[in-house]
Amino acid sequence: MIYDFLLAHAAENPVSFHMPGHKGAQFYERFGYDDFLKEVMNCDITEIVGADNLFQMEGIILATMAKYSKLYDVIDSYLLVNGSSCGLIASILACVGDYGKLIMARNCHKSVFNSLTIADCEPAYIRPEAIEEYGILGSVSPKEVEKAIRENPTADAVVVVSPNYYGICSDIEAIAEVVHKYNKILIVDQAHGAHLKFFSRFAAEFGYPKAAEDQGADLVINSIHKTLGSFTQTAILNVCSDRVDERVLEDKLQVMESTSPSYPLMASLDINADILFEHGEELIREWAENLEYFYEEAAKIKGLEIIRHPMLDRTKINIDMSAYDIDGNELEELLLNDGIYIELVTGNIVMAMTGIGNTREHFDRFLASLRKIASAHEYVGKEKSKKIQSHVFTRELERVLVPAEREYVHIDDAEGRICAQSIIPYPPGIPIACPGEVIDRDLIEYVKKSRAAGEKVMGMNANHQVLVGVVAPENEDMYDDYDDEDVKLHLG
Ligand SMILES: Cc1ncc(COP(=O)(O)O)c(C=O)c1O
C-alpha cells in the first residue's frame, strides 16, 4: 500500500512546497548522483569493515562531520539520523540534570516537550509574541528570556526555536548575550533554518536572517532534510562553543539514536555537503532569485496577501487569500487540484515551504495556480473572522501533578481534567496541552475545530477521547489547594 501510494504520487508530477528540501530525484540527477539513486539498496549496509561507526567515528563518518563543521564554521558537527528531534532531546539531556529546570519557548516542537519527560525536568516557559493580525506566533524577545532566567535562576539552559514553522526568527544575538550573562547554555532549534548560513554567505544582499551559528548560540540543531538536499530524517547538530561537554553530548546522542543508523541516510548528508561545497553559491542564488520573482509576481494578484515580519525567513511563503472568502483549508484543496502540495495550514494561512531543489518551473506552476484561483473566485475584501486564535498556545494553563491512575474521556467532557498525554495539533507539532496542565474550554474548542477541519491532533484518538488523570477522592483537596511552591511538578 505504501509503495503503491508513493509510486502513484510520483507519477502525478506533483510540485512540492513541503518537506523535504531536495524536492525529488531531479536534484541528485542534476549533479551526477544518479548512481547513488540506482544503487541505494546496495548502499544499505551495516558497520562492516571500513564503514566507520556513528557512535565511535574515526573514518568516513568523521570525514563527513568535518565537512559540515567547515560548512557551518563551527567546532564540531554531529550527523543525526533520527531528525532534529533526537538532536534536540540529546542536547537538552546533555545540558540539564535530572529533576533540573529548562527555560523554553512555549512554541517549541514536541521533541523539546518530550525531553522534559525523559529528563524528568521542569519547564519554565517563555511566551513568544502573538501576531494577532495573522493568528500565529512570532519571535521570542530577549527581555522575556531575561525575565525567565531571573525568575528561574537554577535553570541550566534555554531553548528557543528560530526560525519557527512560519519562518519567523528571533534575535539570537541578543538572546545569547542575555543567556551567557547568567552563565546558562543557549540551544537553538534551527530545524527550519539549515539554509540560513548559506543565504548569508552567498546571497547576503537579499537580507535573510542570520544563522544561529553566527549569533552566539552554543548548540544549534538543523534539519538538513527540511530545506537542503539530504533524505528525510537527516539532520546536523552543530557545537559552536565549549560550554557543553561533548563527551556527555555524544553519550546522550547514542541514547537517543538507532543502533542501526542508515548508511543511505548518512550518504545523503555526505552528498548534500559536497553539493554545497561545489555548487552552493549557484544553488542558493537561484533559490533567492526564484523567491524574488515569485514575490514580485504574487504581488500582482489582487487580494493575495503574503505575511510580513521584520524577522521573516522568506523561504517560507505564507499566503492568505481570505479576501476571496477562501480559508487556508480551501486554498490547500484548490492548490492540490493543480498538483501543488503545500506544508501547513493555520486558519487563513497556507505555508508553502520552499527548498534547495525547487526550480523556476515549480514557482511558475504555483503562480499559475494562484492566478487561476483568484480569477475563479469573487473578491470580497479581507475576511478576518476565520483566523485562528494564537492565544491558545500562549496563555498559561494551570499546572498540577499527574495522578498515576488515568482514563480516557471524550474531549467534550475534559474541561477541568488533568491532561495526562500531550495534545498536539500536527503540524505545527506544538503541544497545546502538556501532561499536568488542566484542560480548559478554549483548548477544547480549538481541538474540535482542528479535527472538524480534517487536521491531525495527536493525543486525541479516533473516538475523540483524550487521556486524563483520575484524582482519588482522598486527594481532591490537594488538587484544589495546588500551590506552585509546594508541589514538585511531575511531567510524566
Ligand atoms: C520547529 C521544529 N523543530 C524540530 C522539529 C523536528 O525535526 P525533525 O523532523 O527533523 O525531527 C520540527 C519538525 O517539524 C519542527 O517543526
Ligand 1 pocket test, pick from 192, 234, 393 with the greatest ligand atom count within 8 Å of Cβ, gives 192
**Is 382 inside any structural domain?**
no
pLDDT tens digits for 240-260?
999 999 999 999 999 999 999
| Reported confidence tier of residue 390, pLDDT bands at 50, 70, 90 | low
Q: Give nearest CA residue, ligand 1 atom 9.
A: 83
Which residue in 231, 339, 230, 268 sits closest to 10, CA to CA? 339
For 42, list phi and psi in degrees, rounded to 5: -75, -15
260 and 349, same domain (yes or no): no
**Is 383 inside any structural domain?**
no
270 and 285, same domain (yes or no): no
Ligand 1 pocket test, pick from 80, 84, 256 with the greatest ligand atom count within 8 Å of Cβ, gives 84
Q: pTM for the full model?
A: 0.92
CATH number, domain at 7?
Answer: 3.90.1150.150
Which residue in 228, 363, 342 sits closest to 289, CA to CA? 363
Ligand 1 pocket by C-beta < 6 Å: which residues? 83-85, 109, 111, 161, 165, 189, 191-192, 223, 235, 429
C-alpha 145 to ligand 1 mean position (Å): 22
195 and 323, same domain (yes or no): no
**Is 489 inside any structural domain?**
no
Cβ-contact 227, 195 below 8 angstroms? yes
pLDDT tens digits for 297-306?
999 999 999 9
Q: Give nearest CA residue, ligand 1 atom 1.
A: 109
289 and 370, same domain (yes or no): yes
Q: How far apart are CA 229 and CA 16, in angstroms?
A: 14
Q: How far apart are CA 358 and CA 287, in angstroms?
A: 7
Range of the domain at 365: 2-16+280-376
C-alpha 234 to ligand 1 mean position (Å): 11
Ligand 1 atom with the smallest distance to the CA of 428 is 16
Ligand 1 pocket test, pick from 111, 221, 233, 272 with the greatest ligand atom count within 8 Å of Cβ, gives 111
Tell me the sheet residues that pair with 250.
none
Ligand 1 atom with the smallest distance to the CA of 19 is 14
Which residue in 192, 164, 108, 133 sits closest to 348, CA to CA? 133
3-state secondary structure of 432: coil
162 and 263, same domain (yes or no): yes
Ligand 1 pocket test, pick from 89, 108, 109, 221 with the greatest ligand atom count within 8 Å of Cβ, gives 109
* Residue 216 or residue 462, greater confidence: 216
Q: Quickly tell me which residue has 475534559 as its cell.
A: 414
Q: What are the helix and strand counts (H, E) for the chain?
A: 17, 19
317 and 262, same domain (yes or no): no
**Is 390 inside any structural domain?**
no
pLDDT tens digits for 262-279?
999 999 999 999 999 999
Cβ-contact 435, 492 below 8 angstroms? yes
Given 250, 277, 304, the domain boundary residue is 277
Ligand 1 atom with the smallest distance to the CA of 82 is 11
3-state secondary structure of 66: helix
**Is 224 inside any structural domain?**
yes
Predicted local confidence at residue 479, as pLDDT? 65
Q: How far apart are CA 262 and CA 155, in angstroms?
A: 36
Q: Quickly tell me which residue has 533567492 as its cell.
A: 288
Which residues, other chains included, contact 299 with Cβ-Cβ below 8 Å and sequence gap of 6+? 306
Q: How far apart are CA 241 and CA 218, in angstroms?
A: 5
420 and 331, same domain (yes or no): no
C-alpha 405 to ligand 1 mean position (Å): 31
Tell me the sheet residues that pair with 122.
101
55 and 187, same domain (yes or no): yes
162 and 237, same domain (yes or no): yes
3-state secondary structure of 334: helix
C-alpha 190 to ligand 1 mean position (Å): 9
**Is 21 inside any structural domain?**
no
pLDDT tens digits for 165-219?
999 999 999 999 999 999 999 999 999 999 999 999 999 999 999 999 999 999 9
For 64, list phi and psi in degrees, rounded to 5: -70, -40
The HSE-up count of residue 111 (CA atoms within 13 Å, CB side) is: 19
How many separate domains does the chain show?
Answer: 3
Q: What is the DSSP string of 474-490?
A: GGHHHHHT--TTTS---
**Cis geometry, peptide bond prior to residue 153 (ω within 30 degrees of 0):** no
Tell me the sheet residues that pair with 157.
102, 185
181 and 262, same domain (yes or no): yes
Predicted local confidence at residue 400, as pLDDT? 82
**Is 491 inside any structural domain?**
no
303 and 269, same domain (yes or no): no
| Measured distance between the N- and C-terminal CA atoms of the chain, rounded to whole angstroms | 36
Which residue in 75, 78, 72 sits closest to 90, CA to CA? 78
C-alpha 160 to ligand 1 mean position (Å): 13
